[in-house]
Amino acid sequence: MRRVVALYRSSVGKKVLMAVTGFVWFGFLLAHMAGNLGAFLGQEHFDAYAEHLRVVGEPMLPEYSALWAFRAVLIATFIAHVVLAWQTSRQSHQARAVGYRKQENLSFSPASRFMRWGGVLILVFLVYHILHMTTGTLHPDFIAADASGHNAYHNLVTGLSNPLVAAFYVLALTAVAAHLFHGVWSLMQTLGAAHPKYKHLRRPVATIVAALVFLGFVSVPVSVLAGILR
Amino acid sequence: MNLTLHIWRQDGPRDGGAFQTYQAKDISEHASFLEMLDVVNEELIKAGQEPIAFEHDCREGICGSCGMMINGVPHGPRGMIATCQLHMRIFNDGDEIWIEPWRATAFPVIRDLVVDRGAFDRIIDAGGYISVRTGSAPDANATPVHKHDADRAMDAATCIGCGACVAACPNASAMLFTAAKVTHLGLLPQGQTERYARVVDMVHQHDAEGFGNCTNHGACQEACPKGISIDTIARLNRDLMVASWAAAGE
Ligand code: HEM
Ligand code: FES
């Protein structure tokens, strides 16, 4: 913990912590995406997977405990990431209190300029997404899990069959893809990975990762709208 | 050639400041950008007005004092040169040119286009040096340095401290400047003793001066008249992580 505090004290250290927390979420996104793609294997498979998440670790652990431990890590890293984003952004705004009349954009990717607003969009989406697919509060036809098992597939398909909802999912995923396009590259730079032999691979890796995450996630709402997932 | 200039005029640190428009007439295309401003200033003096204050010294791209924002780009649109090395031939007759000082809270405007870059000196004071016995020069090659390291250290050492990196950065961060020095000294055997204290102290001073937080936009390396790479920043980040890790473990 003292090491984390030592990092937190400096601007560079804050970025390191952002990179690490962002990386945790990046890992989660890959797992989440793989889980979603299970919808293409049919309703039974998908519902069984949802049920599996609930009981991971049984009988060693009570049901939901592994899931909640996992959620705790995600919540903590997300909050840390957002708070650090806010603090570092504020530092930067104060550092350029007076702006230019004219300023060319010399940054090498437009995505880097979209991190802060894109991040806010992701945050809004995340709140909606949880109220939509996890608690069902904002879902018009939600069937909660009960003793007979999960209805995740039903909730997924009915939830995304509204074109406006599906469009919002696609919009949010565009922001996530842009965030990763810069974020994955930035993460390697922040963590000091700039070896002359491999540094030219950072851009292609970030591009491929962003494209994969985008296509993997977007395939689900698009397939629901197209009637492929019913 | 004739040009219309919109130049930031500010009487002193506490003055509000505003853009003023000037006509630069009969400018030779062989003139440098600063010579063009000299011509404009002569006209202003003849007309009994205050000349435009701008900083300059070597006029050959090595002192780092002549920085200004030209049409939204530090040192103008050419790339890899300082303002004093910019020639008027890259502009066209009739062009409008906007000229502004560097904008950063850590670089307060002193007058017109002149800003106080003392913050850079204080970052250097915080750790941009090596402690060695001075006196008689050591024998050449007494301390071997790998060619690869020597080249990279020299590339980083070409920083002239002009502040273009800060001026271009959307965050007004001075990370490229700080990282150039950390890389230059940290790659050489003479710089090892203070290597980790240096990075912590310099980054601390960087933050204390009120520079912003680097978010890897890469604008600094585009603006740098010496082409210093943001690879130096990756190196600084690595050294800082090692330093924080080691210090907190003690
Ligand atoms: C409210 C939500 C979010 C906000 C406000 C936000 C904001 C930011 C900001 C301002 C940066 C720094 C930009 C830079 O260093 O270039 C950043 C970096 C990053 N973000 Fe986010 N973000 C959010 C959510 C996420 C999520 C959900 C993920 C996971 C997919 C993520 C992954 C990353 C990564 C990997 C980086 C790069 C870290 C670095 O090198 O500094 N972010 N974010
Ligand atoms: S006047 Fe010295 S670098 Fe331009």
DSSP 8-state code for residue B172: -
Q: Which residues of B1-31 are buried (b: 16+ CB within 10 A; e: fewer)?
A: bebebbbbbbeeeeeebeeeebebeebeeeb
Q: Is the distance from CB of B68 to CB of B54 less than 8 angstroms?
A: yes
Distance A101 CA to ligand 1 centre (A): 29
Q: What does DSSP assign to residue B99? A: E
Cβ count near B71 (within 10 Å): 17
Q: What range does the domain containing B209 cover?
A: 117-249
- The tokens 């405007």 sit on which residue? B109
Ligand 1 binding pocket (C-beta < 6 A) is: A 15, 18-19, 22-23, 25-26, 29, 81-82, 85, 89, 112, 115-116, 119-120, 122-123, 179-180, 182-184, 186-187, 190; B 215-216
**Is residue B127 domain-shared with residue B231, that is, in the same domain?**
yes
Say how many domains are in chain A.
1
| Residues B29 and B153 reside in one and the same domain | no
Interchain contact B72–A (C-beta under 8 A)? yes
For residues B145 and B65, state if they share a domain.
no
How many domains would you assign to chain B? 2
CA A154 to chain centre: 23
Maximum CA extent, chain A: 65
What is the distance between the alpha carbons of residues B129 and B107, in angstroms, rounded to a whole number? 22
Pick from B60, B106, B116: which is nearest to B83 by CA? Answer: B60
Q: Please answer whether residues A8 and A17 qualify as being in contact, where contact means their C-beta atoms are separated by less than 8 angstroms.
A: yes
Angle at A176 between CA A10 and CA A187, to 5 degrees: 35
Q: Are residues B28 and B132 in the same domain?
A: no
Residues of B in contact with A3 (CB under 8 A): 244-245, 248-249
* Domain-located, residue B134: yes
Q: Model pTM?
A: 0.91
B146 and B79 within one domain? no
ipTM of the complex: 0.92
Cis peptide bond upstream of B225, omega within 30: no
Mean pLDDT by 10 residues, chain A (230 residues): 81 95 97 95 93 81 86 97 97 96 89 95 97 94 82 94 97 98 96 90 96 97 94
Residues B185-233: tens digit of each pLDDT: 999 999 999 999 999 999 999 999 999 999 999 999 999 999 999 999 9
Please check whether residues B145 and B225 belong to one and the same domain: yes
CATH number of the domain that residue B83 is part of? 3.10.20.30
Rounded CA separation B159/B150 (Å): 15
Task: For residue A72, give every residue at least 6 positions away whose Cβ sits within 8 Å of its Cβ, in sequence order, or none.
Answer: none
- Taking CA atoms, B126 is separated from B12, B156, B171, in Å, by 29, 18, 22
Expressed as residue numbers, the domain containing A20 is 2-225
Two tokens, residue A150: 């999960």
pLDDT tens by residue, B33-84: 999 999 999 999 999 999 999 999 999 999 999 999 999 999 999 999 999 9
Quote the distance between the C-alpha of residue B10 and its chain's center.
21
Q: Largest Cα–Cα distance of chain B, in whole Å?
A: 67
